[in-house]
Amino acid sequence: MKKLTFFLLILFSPILVWAYEPIIPIPRTVEYDENKALLGKRLFSETLLSSDNTVSCHSCHDFNFGGAESKPVSIGVYNRVGNLNAPTVLNSYFNFRQFWNGRAIDLKEQAKGPLHNIIEMDMTVEKVEKVLNAHDEYLGLFKQVYGKVPITFELVVDAIAEFEKALFTPDSIFDRYLRGEIELSKTEKKGYILFKTLGCISCHNGINIGGNSFQYIGAINPLENEVKGDLYEISGDPFDKNRFKVPSLRNIALTAPYLHDGSRKSLADILILMAYHNLGFSLSQEEIALLTSFLKTLTGKTPKILQ
Amino acid sequence: MIRFRFKIDLAILFALIIGLSFFYLNYATQRLLHSHSEILHQLTDLDLHNEQINKEVLNAAYRLYDTYDRVNLLLQKVRSNLALVKSNPILRSAPYRKISNKLQLFDISLNKKEKAIEKFITLNAMIKNSATYVPSLSTRYLQGFDKHDKEYLLELLNITSAVFLAHNAMDADLLEAIESSINKLKLKQFDSEEEKNFNRLFLSHAQVMTRYLPLYRPIFENILSGNSSQLLHEIEESFVTISTREANKLSSISYAVMLAFLLSIALIVFLLFNVEKSRRKQVQLHRELQYRATTDSLTRLDNRFAFLQEEQLLNDSHALLLINIDSFKDINDFYGRQIGDRALKHISKVIKQFANAISLNQIYRVGTDDFALIVKNKTSKELMSLTQDLIVHIESRAFIFQDIQLFLRVSAGITNTSPLLETADLALRKIKNTRNKLLLYSPEQDLEKQAKENLTMMQFIQEAINKDYIVPHFMPLMRNTDETIVAFECLIRLQDEQGKLYFPDEFLPVAKKCRLYGDLTKIMVEKCFKKFANVDYLFSINLSIEDIEDNDVSNFIFAKLEQFPETGKRLMIEILESEDVQNYSCLQYFVDKVRPYGCRIAIDDYGSGYSNLQHLLNMQVDSLKIDGSLVEQIATNQDTSVVVNTIVDMAEDMGISTTTAEYVANKEVFKEVQSLNITYSQGYYIGKALPELITTPDYATK
C-alpha cells in the first residue's frame, strides 16, 4: 500500500508542480518613506547632477517610455554615446541585481553608476556634494527630510533609491488574473500557456518576470554581432560570455526599443529574436500574436508617485 | 580614631568593590546570555535559510520551471543574517576571535555558493528547456514531416531517450552513448530546407545537453554538499563551547564574589561582636568607675560623692544622722594610721549592723571620721532616741586589736533641715563645745548667728579690756576641819557700764579664739595680786594650758611673782587637766619655774575626764580640785562617794597635801565632804563668788 502511494505521488508530482504559478503579482503597496522619495524624485530629474548640466537620471529613464529610453543606447553629457539601452527603472526594486550585468547589488549602488560614468553624467562624489550644498533649496529639503546638512553623496543616492523603490506598477491585467480577480482573454491565456510551454518561463519568472537570474543571450544560436556589456566584461570568466541579467518583462509594451543594445524596435522583433537565438526555432505569426497579446497584459498602473 | 576611620573607609571600599562586582557580574551575565541567545538565534536563522536555499536549488532542479525569486530572497536573508551576526560586538572580543574567523570563512563560502547558484540557474534554464525540446522535437518530426527516414528517426529516439535518462539521472555519462548519433545527424544531408532547419534545431538542443549537463551536476552537488552548512555547524558548536567557557568563567568569578561577600559578612559579624565586647567592657568599666567614685575604698560604704548625688533626691521627710568619732585624730596619732583605719572599718561595720537591723541602708562615709545615715519619716523625738540607741550601740562595742580593747566615743549631729550635711555638721560642731553626745539641729543654732554673736562678743571683750570691765569675783574656800574661810578662788567676770555681768562661759571661748584671752588672764593676775597684797588669805587663779604655753602670759606671771614675793607665796595656780594638754614639758617647765616662789599647783575638775596620774606625779601637784559633778552626788550616790573617797586616798598616797570639793551646795554635801577628809570646800553652801571677800560662810550668817 505504501509503495502504491509512493508510486502515485511520483506519477502526479508534475501536476502538483504545475499548480504553482511561476509569476508572482506585484504587491499593491510597497512601504517607502514618502519625503525621501519625493526628494529623490526631484533629484531624479536634476540636471545639476551632470557635469555639463544637461543630463539627469530622467534623461535615460523617461517615464513617458515606461521608465526606459526611446533611443537604442543612452546619450550622456556632451552627447557622449553609451553602449547599452537603459533598462526600465520601473519595478527595478524587485530585481535581484541592477545593471545589465548585475554589478550592483541594490538601487543605491546602481544610482552611483551613471553619476560616475564619464559617458553618462560624469560626476564625482565631491562634485555632487559641492553642487547640492551650494543650492539653498536642496539644503533646505535635505535638512527637512534627513534632519541634517551638509548634503552627502550617500544621502543623495539614498533619496534616489527611495524614489525608485516607489516606482512599482501594480494591478496589471495579468496580476489581477493571477489574483483571480479577472479572467484573461482566450488569446492572452493561450499566449501565457505558450510562454510557458515554449520555455520562455525558464528565464522570465518571478515577480519581475525576469530580473532574478543571469542567462545567456543566444543560448542555442549565438547572436551575429559581438556582444557588449555582458558579465564577462567584469568577471573575465569564459562562462560569463554573452551572459546578462534577464531583463524584466513588466511594462514591456512601453519600453521599446528592446535588447541590451536597443536593436529591436517592436515586440514582434524581439520575440522572433529571442525564439531563434535562445530556443532555436522561428515563431509562427500566430505564436507571435498570442505571445504579444500576453505581453501586453503585463503593463501595470502608473506608480502613485508619478501621478 | 584614625584606625577606626581607616576601617570604615576600608569597609566602604570593600562594599563598593563587591557591589560593583555584583553589578558587573549581573551585567556581564545578562550580556552573555543576551548575546548568546541572540547569536545562537541568528546562527539558527542562518542555518535555516542556508538549508532553505538548498531546498530551493533542489526545487529548481526538480521542477521544469519555477521562480528564482525565492532563492534570491533567501540569499539576501542569509547575507543580512550574516551581517547581523558579524556586527555583534561580543564576537569582536578576544575569546570569540575564532568565531569571527570562521564567519569570514563562511562569508567566502557563501560568495562561492552564490556564484554557483547563479551558474546553476543559468545551466538549469537551458537544460530544462532542451530536455523538453528534445522529446517534443522528436514528436514534431513525426507530426511535421510526411515521409520519415526510419534510420534518422531511430537516431532521434536514441538521442531522446538518452537525454531523458541523462537528465533525470543528472548523469552526463549516459550521454556518451549518443555521440555517434549526434555525429551522424551532423553529417546527414537533407533534401529540404525545412528538414535541415529541424535537424539543426534538434542538434542544438541535444548539444546543449552534451555541453552543459557535465557542468550541471558538479555545480548542483557542489551547492548541496558545500561546506557552508558544515561550517555553520562548526561555528555553532564552537560558539556554544566558547560561551559556555565564558559562562563558567563568570560563574567562577561570581563564586569568588559570593565568597568575598560571605567573608565580609563574617568580618562585619566579627567587628560587631568586637564592638559589642568592647561596649560591654566599657559598661563594666563605667560601673566600676561609678562604684569607685561613689564608694569609700576603706569601709566599702558609699562616699561623700555618692551622698551628694543621693541628697538631690531627698526631701523634707528625710533626716540625717551624722556620727563623728571623738578625738579621732588622737587615735590616729597615738596608734598610727593603720589602727585608725581599722577603727574606721570597725565603726562602719558597727553602724551598718545597727542600720541594717532597722532596715536602713543609706550609710555614707562623708568625712574622715564622719558617718552619715539617712532616715525617713521620723519625728524629732524618734530621731533623738534612735540616735541615742545608735551611740550606745557603737560605744558598747569595743574595737579590739592586738588584745587591746578600745571603746570609741562618738557624737552625733541630727538634722532634718536642708541642706542636711551642712546642718548636721553644724549640730555636731555645736556639740563639741559642750559635753553632750547628740544634738538635733534647729535653725536657731545657725552658724551665721553664732558668728555674729562671736563678733559682737569679740568687740565686747576688746571694749572690756580697754574700758576695764574686768571685775574679778572671789569664791570663798573653807577649811573643813575648823570651818574657817582661808582662801578664795578668783573667777573672771565682765561687767559692762550698765552693770550687767558676763560669765566666762559666755566670753572665754571667743576670747581664746581671738587672742584676747592672754590679755584677760594678765589683767586678772594683775587685779588679783593687788586684791590679795594686803590680806592674809590664800588665793587661786585659773590658768589654762593656752595661758601656760603663751610666753607673754607666763613671763607676766613670773614678773609678778618676782615683784610681789609675799603675795606670790599665797598664790595657788589651778590648771585644768584635760586631753588638750599636748606639751607636758612646757607645763612641767612652768611648774618648776613658779614653785620656788612658793606657789602652789592645783589640778582643776579632777575626775571629770581624762587624767594622767604619771603627769600628776611628775608635776608634784599640791592640790586636787575634785570635779563638781562628782561632789554634787556625793550625798545621794554611794558609788560617787566611793569614787571621791578613792581620789582623796590616792591624793594622800601621792603626797598631794590638799584636796578641794567644788559645788558644795548644801549641808548634806558639806557633811559628807567633811567626813571624807577633803581639805577645803567651796560652793553656794559656803558662799557665792562676789567682788568682795567674804570672811564668814553663808550658812553661818543665815
Q: Sign of dihedral through CA atoms B140, B143, B146, B152?
A: positive
Q: Which residues contact B41 (CB under 8 A, 6 or more apart)?
A: none
pLDDT of B115: 93
Spatial distance between the Cα atoms of B393 and B416, rounded to a whole number of angstroms = 22
H helix intervals, B90-148 = 97-144
pTM exceeding the 0.90 threshold for the entire prediction: no
Q: Catalytic one among A46, A120, A164, A287?
A: A120
Is residue A120 flagged as an active site residue? yes
How many Cα neighbours within 13 Å face the side chain of B327?
13
The rounded radius of gyration (Å) of the Cα atoms in chain B is 71
Q: Where are the domains of chain A?
A: 34-165, 173-305
Spatial distance between the Cα atoms of B153 and B146, rounded to a whole number of angstroms = 13
CB contact under 8 A, B208 and A220: yes
The torsion angles phi and psi of B302, rounded to 5 degrees, stand at -65, 145
A209 three-state secondary structure: coil
Average pLDDT of chain A is 90
The minimum CA-CA distance between A227 and chain B, rounded to whole Å, is: 18
Q: A173-305 maps to which CATH number?
A: 1.10.760.10
Q: Which long-range contacts (CB under 8 A, 24 or more apart) does B103-108 make?
A: B103/B235, B105/B231, B106/B82, B106/B228, B106/B231, B106/B232, B106/B235, B107/B82
* pLDDT single digits (tens) B583-636: 778 888 888 889 899 899 888 877 665 566 677 777 788 888 888 888 888 888
Q: Which residue matches cell numbers 537603459?
A: A86
Spatial distance between the Cα atoms of A124 and A118, rounded to a whole number of angstroms = 10
Average pLDDT of chain B is 87
The torsion angles phi and psi of B475, rounded to 5 degrees, stand at -95, 120
The minimum CA-CA distance between A243 and chain B, rounded to whole Å, is: 9
pLDDT of B608: 63
CATH fold for the domain made of A34-165: Cytochrome Bc1 Complex; Chain D, domain 2 (1.10.760)
Sketch out chain B's domains with CATH numbers: 16-236 (1.20.58), 302-445 (3.30.70.270), 451-687 (3.20.20.450)
Cell of B148: 520519415
A118 three-state secondary structure: coil
* pLDDT single digits (tens) B262-312: 988 898 899 889 889 999 999 999 998 888 888 888 888 888 888 888 888
The answer to whether domain A34-165 and domain A173-305 are alike in fold is: yes
Nearest chain B alpha carbon to A14:
B63
Which residue from B63, B118, B205 is facing A213, i.e. has the nearest CB?
B118
Residue A41 has pLDDT above 90, yes or no: yes
Q: What is the ipTM of this complex?
A: 0.89
Q: Which residue matches cell numbers 539617712?
A: B374
pLDDT of A191: 96
Nearest chain A alpha carbon to B127:
A202
Using alpha carbons, select from B281, B307, B450, B278 the residue that is nearest to residue B372. Answer: B307
Query: Which residues are registered as beta bridge partners of B624?
Result: B603, B659
* pLDDT single digits (tens) B249-263: 888 988 988 898 898
Report, as an integer, the average pLDDT of B670-686: 90
A220: contact with B, CB 8 A cutoff: yes
Helical pair A34-44 and A153-165, crossing angle rounded to 10 deg: 100
Task: Please report, rounded to a whole number, the percentage of residues in chain A having pLDDT higher than 90.
Answer: 79
CB contact under 8 A, A196 and B122: no
Q: Which residues contact B188 (CB under 8 A, 6 or more apart)?
A: B152, B199
Q: Are B420 and B370 in contact (CB under 8 A)?
A: no
* pLDDT single digits (tens) A215-268: 999 999 999 888 888 999 999 999 999 999 999 999 999 998 999 999 999 999
Chain B hits for A199, CB-CB cut-off 8 Å, are 65, 128-129, 132-133
